[in-house]
Amino acid sequence: MTKRLPISEVWVYLSGDPLFALIITLATYQIGYLLYVRARRHPMVNPVAISVIATCLIIQQLKMPYEQYFAGAQFVHFLLGTATVALAVPIYTGFKRMQGRIFHIWVALTVGSTVSIASAVAIAKVMGAGDNIVGSMYAKSVTAPIAMGIAERLNVSPTLTAVFTVITGMLGAILAPYILNALKVHQWWIRGTAIGVGAHGLGITRAFSVNEEAGVFASMAMGLNGVISAIGLPIVLTYLRPYLGF
Amino acid sequence: MISGLVQLFLWQGLGELLSKFFLPSIPGPVLGLLLLLVFLCVRGQVNADLNGVADAFRQHLGLLFVPASVGVVLFLPDLKTHALAVSTALIVSVILTIGVTAVVLKVCWYVSLKRHKGHRHD
Protein backbone atom coordinates (compact mmCIF):
# COMPACT_ATOMS: atom_id res chain seq x y z
CA MET A 1 0.00 0.00 0.00
CA THR A 2 1.39 3.37 -0.96
CA LYS A 3 1.60 5.85 1.82
CA ARG A 4 -0.23 9.07 1.06
CA LEU A 5 1.86 12.15 1.42
CA PRO A 6 0.37 14.80 3.66
CA ILE A 7 -0.31 17.96 1.67
CA SER A 8 2.35 19.91 3.53
CA GLU A 9 4.99 17.49 2.32
CA VAL A 10 3.92 17.92 -1.27
CA TRP A 11 4.37 21.62 -0.69
CA VAL A 12 7.86 21.18 0.76
CA TYR A 13 8.76 19.11 -2.26
CA LEU A 14 7.44 21.64 -4.76
CA SER A 15 8.85 24.74 -3.12
CA GLY A 16 12.33 23.26 -3.06
CA ASP A 17 12.16 22.73 -6.78
CA PRO A 18 13.34 25.27 -9.36
CA LEU A 19 10.09 24.67 -11.20
CA PHE A 20 8.07 26.57 -8.62
CA ALA A 21 10.09 29.79 -8.94
CA LEU A 22 9.95 29.49 -12.71
CA ILE A 23 6.18 29.03 -12.66
CA ILE A 24 5.59 32.14 -10.52
CA THR A 25 7.96 34.23 -12.63
CA LEU A 26 6.58 33.21 -16.00
CA ALA A 27 2.91 33.03 -15.00
CA THR A 28 2.88 36.48 -13.38
CA TYR A 29 4.66 37.92 -16.41
CA GLN A 30 2.17 36.24 -18.74
CA ILE A 31 -0.74 37.69 -16.78
CA GLY A 32 0.95 41.10 -16.81
CA TYR A 33 1.50 40.84 -20.55
CA LEU A 34 -2.15 39.94 -21.20
CA LEU A 35 -3.26 42.94 -19.14
CA TYR A 36 -0.78 45.11 -21.04
CA VAL A 37 -2.19 44.02 -24.40
CA ARG A 38 -5.74 44.50 -23.03
CA ALA A 39 -4.84 48.05 -21.99
CA ARG A 40 -3.72 48.76 -25.58
CA ARG A 41 -0.08 48.76 -24.52
CA HIS A 42 -0.42 51.68 -22.19
CA PRO A 43 2.96 52.23 -20.45
CA MET A 44 1.31 52.44 -17.02
CA VAL A 45 0.33 48.76 -17.30
CA ASN A 46 3.87 47.46 -17.42
CA PRO A 47 4.09 43.65 -17.51
CA VAL A 48 7.49 43.68 -15.76
CA ALA A 49 6.24 45.83 -12.89
CA ILE A 50 3.14 43.65 -12.52
CA SER A 51 5.22 40.48 -12.51
CA VAL A 52 7.75 41.85 -9.99
CA ILE A 53 5.08 43.12 -7.59
CA ALA A 54 3.03 39.91 -7.80
CA THR A 55 6.10 37.70 -7.34
CA CYS A 56 7.27 39.77 -4.34
CA LEU A 57 3.84 39.43 -2.72
CA ILE A 58 3.71 35.70 -3.36
CA ILE A 59 7.15 34.88 -1.97
CA GLN A 60 6.56 37.14 1.04
CA GLN A 61 3.22 35.43 1.73
CA LEU A 62 4.92 32.04 1.54
CA LYS A 63 7.86 33.28 3.63
CA MET A 64 10.15 31.99 0.95
CA PRO A 65 13.61 33.54 1.25
CA TYR A 66 14.76 35.47 -1.81
CA GLU A 67 17.81 33.23 -2.21
CA GLN A 68 15.58 30.20 -2.54
CA TYR A 69 13.40 31.92 -5.13
CA PHE A 70 16.43 33.05 -7.09
CA ALA A 71 17.96 29.56 -7.09
CA GLY A 72 15.02 28.55 -9.27
CA ALA A 73 14.52 31.73 -11.24
CA GLN A 74 18.18 31.97 -12.21
CA PHE A 75 17.41 30.00 -15.34
CA VAL A 76 15.49 33.00 -16.64
CA HIS A 77 18.10 35.37 -15.26
CA PHE A 78 20.83 33.54 -17.13
CA LEU A 79 19.37 34.54 -20.50
CA LEU A 80 20.09 38.23 -19.83
CA GLY A 81 23.58 37.84 -21.25
CA THR A 82 22.26 36.19 -24.39
CA ALA A 83 19.66 38.92 -24.79
CA THR A 84 22.45 41.49 -24.56
CA VAL A 85 24.33 39.84 -27.41
CA ALA A 86 21.10 39.84 -29.43
CA LEU A 87 21.01 43.66 -29.22
CA ALA A 88 23.68 43.62 -31.96
CA VAL A 89 20.89 42.93 -34.48
CA PRO A 90 18.83 46.12 -33.91
CA ILE A 91 22.04 48.18 -33.72
CA TYR A 92 23.10 46.78 -37.08
CA THR A 93 19.66 47.42 -38.61
CA GLY A 94 19.85 51.01 -37.32
CA PHE A 95 23.37 51.47 -38.72
CA LYS A 96 22.12 50.60 -42.18
CA ARG A 97 19.54 53.40 -41.99
CA MET A 98 21.66 56.10 -40.40
CA GLN A 99 23.25 57.42 -43.62
CA GLY A 100 25.56 60.21 -42.56
CA ARG A 101 23.91 60.78 -39.21
CA ILE A 102 26.33 58.68 -37.19
CA PHE A 103 28.33 61.63 -35.87
CA HIS A 104 25.22 63.49 -34.69
CA ILE A 105 23.84 60.41 -33.00
CA TRP A 106 27.19 59.70 -31.35
CA VAL A 107 27.37 63.24 -29.90
CA ALA A 108 23.76 63.14 -28.70
CA LEU A 109 24.22 59.72 -27.07
CA THR A 110 27.34 60.77 -25.20
CA VAL A 111 25.80 64.02 -23.94
CA GLY A 112 22.47 62.32 -23.16
CA SER A 113 23.91 59.49 -21.12
CA THR A 114 26.23 61.84 -19.23
CA VAL A 115 23.27 64.07 -18.32
CA SER A 116 21.25 61.03 -17.30
CA ILE A 117 23.89 59.68 -14.94
CA ALA A 118 25.03 63.03 -13.54
CA SER A 119 21.51 64.29 -12.82
CA ALA A 120 20.29 61.09 -11.16
CA VAL A 121 23.41 60.61 -9.03
CA ALA A 122 23.60 64.28 -8.03
CA ILE A 123 19.93 64.53 -7.03
CA ALA A 124 19.97 61.26 -5.08
CA LYS A 125 23.13 62.30 -3.27
CA VAL A 126 22.01 65.85 -2.46
CA MET A 127 18.70 64.54 -1.13
CA GLY A 128 20.57 62.26 1.24
CA ALA A 129 20.02 58.76 -0.20
CA GLY A 130 22.39 56.04 1.00
CA ASP A 131 25.47 54.85 -0.91
CA ASN A 132 23.60 51.76 -2.04
CA ILE A 133 20.95 53.82 -3.79
CA VAL A 134 23.32 56.46 -5.18
CA GLY A 135 25.61 53.77 -6.59
CA SER A 136 22.72 52.06 -8.33
CA MET A 137 21.74 55.30 -10.08
CA TYR A 138 24.85 55.13 -12.29
CA ALA A 139 23.66 52.52 -14.71
CA LYS A 140 19.89 53.04 -14.47
CA SER A 141 19.48 54.67 -17.86
CA VAL A 142 21.11 51.77 -19.67
CA THR A 143 19.00 48.83 -20.78
CA ALA A 144 18.68 46.44 -17.80
CA PRO A 145 20.78 43.48 -18.99
CA ILE A 146 23.78 45.70 -19.63
CA ALA A 147 23.03 47.87 -16.59
CA MET A 148 23.26 44.86 -14.31
CA GLY A 149 26.55 43.80 -15.85
CA ILE A 150 27.91 47.30 -15.22
CA ALA A 151 26.54 47.29 -11.66
CA GLU A 152 28.42 44.06 -10.91
CA ARG A 153 31.63 45.59 -12.25
CA LEU A 154 31.13 48.74 -10.14
CA ASN A 155 30.36 46.69 -7.01
CA VAL A 156 26.93 48.23 -6.56
CA SER A 157 23.64 46.35 -6.22
CA PRO A 158 22.46 44.84 -9.53
CA THR A 159 19.01 44.43 -7.96
CA LEU A 160 18.46 48.11 -7.21
CA THR A 161 19.92 48.96 -10.61
CA ALA A 162 17.40 46.65 -12.30
CA VAL A 163 14.51 48.14 -10.31
CA PHE A 164 15.54 51.72 -11.12
CA THR A 165 15.92 50.75 -14.75
CA VAL A 166 12.41 49.34 -14.93
CA ILE A 167 10.95 52.47 -13.28
CA THR A 168 12.98 54.70 -15.62
CA GLY A 169 11.61 52.81 -18.60
CA MET A 170 8.03 53.28 -17.40
CA LEU A 171 8.49 56.98 -16.64
CA GLY A 172 10.26 57.57 -19.93
CA ALA A 173 7.61 55.82 -21.99
CA ILE A 174 4.86 57.83 -20.28
CA LEU A 175 6.57 61.24 -20.32
CA ALA A 176 8.47 61.13 -23.64
CA PRO A 177 5.65 62.32 -25.97
CA TYR A 178 4.98 65.35 -23.75
CA ILE A 179 8.67 66.28 -23.42
CA LEU A 180 9.32 65.94 -27.14
CA ASN A 181 6.19 67.87 -28.14
CA ALA A 182 7.03 70.65 -25.68
CA LEU A 183 10.49 70.93 -27.27
CA LYS A 184 8.96 70.92 -30.76
CA VAL A 185 10.99 67.93 -31.90
CA HIS A 186 9.06 66.40 -34.77
CA GLN A 187 11.50 64.26 -36.77
CA TRP A 188 10.75 60.61 -36.03
CA TRP A 189 14.37 59.53 -36.01
CA ILE A 190 15.30 62.21 -33.45
CA ARG A 191 12.32 61.35 -31.27
CA GLY A 192 13.22 57.65 -31.48
CA THR A 193 16.86 58.19 -30.57
CA ALA A 194 15.95 60.32 -27.55
CA ILE A 195 13.46 57.70 -26.36
CA GLY A 196 16.00 54.90 -26.81
CA VAL A 197 18.50 56.73 -24.59
CA GLY A 198 15.99 57.81 -21.95
CA ALA A 199 13.38 55.09 -21.79
CA HIS A 200 15.02 51.94 -23.24
CA GLY A 201 12.95 48.74 -23.56
CA LEU A 202 9.50 50.02 -22.79
CA GLY A 203 10.05 53.25 -24.72
CA ILE A 204 11.01 51.24 -27.78
CA THR A 205 7.82 49.21 -27.72
CA ARG A 206 5.92 52.48 -27.56
CA ALA A 207 8.03 54.03 -30.34
CA PHE A 208 7.46 51.04 -32.64
CA SER A 209 3.71 51.27 -32.13
CA VAL A 210 3.71 54.93 -33.20
CA ASN A 211 6.24 54.95 -36.03
CA GLU A 212 8.53 52.30 -37.48
CA GLU A 213 11.48 54.64 -38.08
CA ALA A 214 11.27 55.91 -34.49
CA GLY A 215 11.33 52.28 -33.29
CA VAL A 216 14.41 51.35 -35.32
CA PHE A 217 16.34 54.39 -34.11
CA ALA A 218 15.18 53.83 -30.54
CA SER A 219 16.43 50.20 -30.57
CA MET A 220 19.74 51.29 -32.00
CA ALA A 221 20.15 54.13 -29.51
CA MET A 222 19.34 51.82 -26.60
CA GLY A 223 21.94 49.27 -27.70
CA LEU A 224 24.64 51.84 -28.45
CA ASN A 225 24.00 53.69 -25.20
CA GLY A 226 24.50 50.41 -23.35
CA VAL A 227 27.75 49.69 -25.15
CA ILE A 228 29.15 53.20 -24.60
CA SER A 229 28.23 53.09 -20.91
CA ALA A 230 29.59 49.58 -20.38
CA ILE A 231 32.93 50.61 -21.81
CA GLY A 232 33.05 54.19 -20.53
CA LEU A 233 31.59 54.06 -17.02
CA PRO A 234 34.15 51.76 -15.36
CA ILE A 235 37.00 53.77 -16.90
CA VAL A 236 35.58 57.17 -15.95
CA LEU A 237 34.68 56.03 -12.45
CA THR A 238 38.12 54.56 -11.79
CA TYR A 239 39.53 58.06 -12.18
CA LEU A 240 36.67 59.94 -10.54
CA ARG A 241 35.91 57.61 -7.65
CA PRO A 242 38.32 59.27 -5.18
CA TYR A 243 36.51 62.60 -5.74
CA LEU A 244 33.00 61.15 -5.58
CA GLY A 245 33.54 59.48 -2.25
CA PHE A 246 31.46 56.32 -2.60
CA MET B 1 15.14 29.11 -34.08
CA ILE B 2 17.70 26.75 -32.55
CA SER B 3 20.30 27.92 -35.01
CA GLY B 4 19.71 31.54 -33.96
CA LEU B 5 20.15 30.62 -30.29
CA VAL B 6 23.30 28.64 -31.00
CA GLN B 7 24.80 31.62 -32.82
CA LEU B 8 24.01 33.91 -29.89
CA PHE B 9 25.45 31.47 -27.33
CA LEU B 10 28.64 31.14 -29.36
CA TRP B 11 29.16 34.91 -29.58
CA GLN B 12 28.35 35.22 -25.89
CA GLY B 13 30.89 32.51 -25.10
CA LEU B 14 33.56 34.26 -27.14
CA GLY B 15 32.75 37.53 -25.39
CA GLU B 16 32.99 35.91 -21.95
CA LEU B 17 36.38 34.44 -22.81
CA LEU B 18 37.67 37.79 -24.06
CA SER B 19 36.36 39.52 -20.95
CA LYS B 20 37.90 36.93 -18.64
CA PHE B 21 41.37 37.00 -20.13
CA PHE B 22 41.84 40.41 -21.74
CA LEU B 23 39.24 43.03 -20.82
CA PRO B 24 37.90 42.31 -17.32
CA SER B 25 36.34 45.78 -16.97
CA ILE B 26 33.81 45.16 -19.76
CA PRO B 27 31.03 42.56 -19.25
CA GLY B 28 31.39 39.50 -21.48
CA PRO B 29 27.95 39.82 -23.14
CA VAL B 30 28.78 43.39 -24.22
CA LEU B 31 31.95 42.13 -25.90
CA GLY B 32 29.86 39.36 -27.50
CA LEU B 33 27.49 42.04 -28.79
CA LEU B 34 30.40 43.99 -30.32
CA LEU B 35 31.86 40.86 -31.95
CA LEU B 36 28.49 39.95 -33.43
CA LEU B 37 28.03 43.53 -34.66
CA VAL B 38 31.40 43.44 -36.45
CA PHE B 39 30.48 40.07 -37.92
CA LEU B 40 27.14 41.41 -39.20
CA CYS B 41 28.79 44.50 -40.71
CA VAL B 42 31.32 42.28 -42.53
CA ARG B 43 28.63 39.86 -43.73
CA GLY B 44 26.32 42.69 -44.77
CA GLN B 45 23.12 40.89 -43.72
CA VAL B 46 21.31 39.24 -40.82
CA ASN B 47 20.20 35.63 -41.32
CA ALA B 48 16.52 34.94 -40.72
CA ASP B 49 17.06 32.59 -37.75
CA LEU B 50 19.15 35.10 -35.86
CA ASN B 51 16.72 37.90 -36.68
CA GLY B 52 13.79 35.87 -35.32
CA VAL B 53 15.47 35.03 -32.01
CA ALA B 54 16.79 38.59 -31.59
CA ASP B 55 13.28 39.94 -32.16
CA ALA B 56 11.80 37.58 -29.57
CA PHE B 57 14.41 38.64 -27.04
CA ARG B 58 13.76 42.31 -27.74
CA GLN B 59 10.02 41.93 -27.30
CA HIS B 60 10.24 40.12 -23.98
CA LEU B 61 13.45 41.58 -22.63
CA GLY B 62 11.51 42.64 -19.54
CA LEU B 63 10.77 39.08 -18.44
CA LEU B 64 14.47 38.37 -18.07
CA PHE B 65 15.03 40.94 -15.36
CA VAL B 66 12.10 39.91 -13.18
CA PRO B 67 14.20 37.50 -11.04
CA ALA B 68 16.76 40.18 -10.20
CA SER B 69 14.13 42.88 -9.64
CA VAL B 70 12.28 40.70 -7.14
CA GLY B 71 15.38 41.15 -4.97
CA VAL B 72 13.91 44.56 -4.20
CA VAL B 73 12.26 42.86 -1.20
CA LEU B 74 15.68 42.94 0.44
CA PHE B 75 15.91 46.72 0.03
CA LEU B 76 12.37 47.78 0.90
CA PRO B 77 13.19 49.45 4.26
CA ASP B 78 16.06 51.37 2.68
CA LEU B 79 13.89 52.49 -0.25
CA LYS B 80 11.04 53.57 2.04
CA THR B 81 13.29 55.93 4.01
CA HIS B 82 14.61 57.51 0.82
CA ALA B 83 11.44 57.33 -1.28
CA LEU B 84 11.40 61.06 -2.03
CA ALA B 85 15.06 61.20 -3.07
CA VAL B 86 14.69 58.15 -5.31
CA SER B 87 11.55 59.32 -7.06
CA THR B 88 12.83 62.88 -7.60
CA ALA B 89 16.13 61.60 -8.97
CA LEU B 90 14.41 59.20 -11.38
CA ILE B 91 11.75 61.60 -12.65
CA VAL B 92 14.00 64.64 -13.13
CA SER B 93 16.72 62.53 -14.69
CA VAL B 94 14.35 60.94 -17.22
CA ILE B 95 12.99 64.33 -18.32
CA LEU B 96 16.50 65.80 -18.66
CA THR B 97 17.86 62.78 -20.51
CA ILE B 98 15.14 62.68 -23.15
CA GLY B 99 15.01 66.47 -23.51
CA VAL B 100 18.75 67.05 -23.74
CA THR B 101 19.35 64.16 -26.16
CA ALA B 102 16.61 65.39 -28.49
CA VAL B 103 17.77 69.02 -28.41
CA VAL B 104 21.45 68.16 -28.95
CA LEU B 105 20.54 65.93 -31.88
CA LYS B 106 18.27 68.57 -33.39
CA VAL B 107 20.88 71.32 -33.08
CA CYS B 108 23.65 69.10 -34.52
CA TRP B 109 21.40 68.15 -37.42
CA TYR B 110 20.45 71.73 -38.29
CA VAL B 111 24.05 72.92 -38.04
CA SER B 112 25.20 70.22 -40.45
CA LEU B 113 22.27 70.88 -42.82
CA LYS B 114 23.20 74.55 -42.96
CA ARG B 115 26.85 73.80 -43.54
CA HIS B 116 25.92 71.35 -46.26
CA LYS B 117 23.80 73.97 -48.04
CA GLY B 118 26.59 76.56 -47.67
CA HIS B 119 29.04 74.23 -49.41
CA ARG B 120 26.64 73.67 -52.25
CA HIS B 121 26.31 77.43 -52.88
CA ASP B 122 30.08 77.98 -52.94
Query: Which class for A181: exposed (0-12), middle (13-18), buried (19 or more C-beta within 10 A)?
Result: exposed
Shortest Cα–Cα distance, B43 to chain A (Å): 11
Please give the pLDDT value at position B122.
43
Q: How many CB atoms are closer than 10 A to CB A246?
A: 15
Please give the pLDDT value at position A64.
87
Q: Do A195 and B57 touch (CB under 8 A)?
A: no
Name which residue leads in pLDDT, A212 or B12: B12
* CB-closest option in B11, B37, B98 to A91: B37
pLDDT in tens, B32-80: 999 999 999 999 888 899 999 998 888 888 888 888 888 888 888 888 8
Q: What is the pTM of this model?
A: 0.83
- Domain map (residue ranges) of chain B: 1-64, 67-122
Please give the pLDDT value at position B23.
84
User: Predicted ipTM?
Assistant: 0.86
Q: Cite the DSSP H helix spans in chain A.
A: 7-15, 18-38, 47-61, 66-86, 88-98, 102-126, 131-136, 144-154, 158-182, 188-210, 212-244
For residue A121, which residues of chain B lie inside 8 Å, CB to CB?
Answer: 89
- Domain map (residue ranges) of chain A: 1-86, 88-246
Please give the pLDDT value at position B121.
47
pLDDT tens for the 246 residues of chain A, in order: 456 666 666 666 666 678 889 999 999 999 999 999 998 878 788 888 899 899 999 998 988 888 889 888 888 888 988 988 998 998 898 888 887 788 888 899 999 988 998 899 889 888 888 888 888 888 887 877 788 888 888 888 888 888 888 888 888 888 888 999 999 988 899 999 999 888 877 778 778 778 888 888 888 888 888 888 888 888 887 777 666 655
Q: Do B106 and A190 touch (CB under 8 A)?
A: yes
The nearest alpha carbon in chain B to A192 belongs to: B102
Q: What are phi and psi of A215, to 5 degrees?
A: -65, -45
> Best interface-test mutation with A: which of B42, B49, B61 has the largest number of A CBs within 10 A?
B61
Q: Do B78 and A133 touch (CB under 8 A)?
A: yes
Please give the pLDDT value at position B12.
95
CB pairs under 8 A between A and B: 322
Please give the pLDDT value at position B92.
93
Q: How open is the CA angle B51-A145-A82, to the nearest 5 degrees?
A: 40
Q: Please, what sign has the CA dihedral across residues A4, A7, A8, A11?
A: positive
